[in-house]
Structure 1
Amino acid sequence: MPSASKPAHDADRAALVEAARRSIARGSKSFAAASRLFDRETRERAWLLYAWCRACDDIVDGQDHGHGMTAVADAEARVARAAELTERALAGEPTGEMPFEALRRFVVETGMPARYPRDLIAGFALDAEEWRPRSEADLYRYCYHVAGSVGCMMAIAMGVAPDDEATLDRACDLGLAFQLSNIARDVEEDDRVGRCYLPVEWLVEMDMPPGQHMKPPFRSRLTVLARRLATQAAAFEASARAGTPALPFRSAWAVLSAAGIYGEIGREVAARGDHAWDHRVTVSAAHKLRHIAWAGWQAGGRERLYPEAPRDPELWVRPR
């Protein structure tokens, strides 16, 4: 809830919201389009949260609004700086930096637990340590830290209670789906900066030496793993869709739109097969509009389309 001393729409907040809006417009056209479907309060809170997430990612990866990722020599120091500013914001202390002021305002308005921002920072720390997943469970743990935690924070932005674990599980599932699709799409881009998120056990299974997975002789085997990622992304996406009856109509519409848009990425990677990395997979503006329109129909009938049912017990569960 907004504090009495900080009205929800005071001048400081309006300036933060506008700066956050510009940040999302530069950093993610897909997210910016989906966020327009929220009611005003939720949309603005989503922008505030995005500004902080984007800034942390940029600090750690030496990039500008998600563009121009490079290998950095001081990754651990960069994570430490993002963590320090985040902790100051969580403590309600001024930071002097817009994205962290956005987080501070977001926490005041929503009562979001500190664990979720800290979990995201822990994901950045894994990258700074040049961590690699050994098992499939390791992969999901990483995806939780860098994306599932964001799904939980976005759900709180939509008004989900911080103790509504069942709905937060579904929100986490959507973040996992997004990240698995991104990993499948960005295998080549990640390889250029020395990263690989394919579990070592998967590489061993495919008889691909670590660090050699982008070599032409292994392309067909890499395709098998990319399709596995897309299949798992689809399973988490389906679980996330089943959580939309717990959301207001406009929030459900935005979630289902984003699910369709990002889901297309994973499906397209799988469909391209060995040519998935010849050109970066993107979703056209026409297809985004189609997903948004279709999601509106789905949101209107979400109770019928996604009747209440237990979450698939075979899916990985986020840490409590």
Structure 2
Amino acid sequence: MDCVAVRLMCAGDLPSAERASDVVFLDSDRRDRRVSEAEPEPRSEEGAKRWIDRMRYFLEVDPQGCWVAVDEAEVVGFAISQNRDRLWYLATYGVLPGRQGQGIGKRLLDAVLNHADGRQGMFSSSVHPGATRRYRLAGFSLHPQMRMVGTVDRSTLPVVTGLSDGSADDFDWMDRLDQQLRGAGHGSDHQYLLNNHRLVVSRADEPGYVYIDDRGRPILLAAADHRTAANLLWDALASARADTLVNCITTANEWAVDVGLAAGLDIGQEGYLAVRNMPTPAPYLANGQFL
């Protein structure tokens, strides 16, 4: 371990960090694969470019939260975190399978938690025993998450009214809603998400929003009440192409389970939402990397 340096990430580390990330999460996906699921595959070239683009964004916005563990010229571990007002979140974290159990993960986590500087925190966690032990010892509560997958039964889709496409003009009230639900606004993250996804909003007395990716999957949803949240999720499901995915569902967000079941989706378990010094946000479906 003495030859491994834990230091702040620089832009030149991004290609090596992406390769390490691909290995880490492919190994995790294969280990946790359900019998009915297809064999996980390495990240596509396009997926690798998207990963590097996201990490470059984090590096530009909050570079002090981005750390790597390096052995000579190769990244063997990474921890990318961000501070947004009173909230700290961990966007991604991992150590190469062959280098786990050597204290590298602890050094990385210590570095990003030091960057948090006492802020409340939130991130999406795998079920890896070593990682979850470190999270709990660091004071995080681990809330089991569910996910729902399958093909939407389109005969179940209700008529939803009062929604429209969103724009940057909505960011102010969206940040105020974020503050109510998670203690801090997404800030510049909203513009990044809007650049890459469709935004649907409800501007009624009980507002809400959802970002929908190019496959019609909801990737971040926040609302002032359960009815608005359900309408936004139904709208996202109406956009779904072939199989869809609704994930990061905690028990505080059973409204999403009800919508998914009504749409004919199957439910399963998927990791934890880790929170520290804050309640589990609801009605809210987190994004794995922007939380």
Shared fold (TM-score, shorter chain, > 0.5)? no
Q: Which has the higher helix share?
A: 1
Q: Which structure is richer in relative contact order (CA contacts within 8 A, separation 6 or more)?
A: 2
User: TM-score scaled to structure 1, two decimals?
Assistant: 0.27
Q: Which has the higher strand share?
A: 2
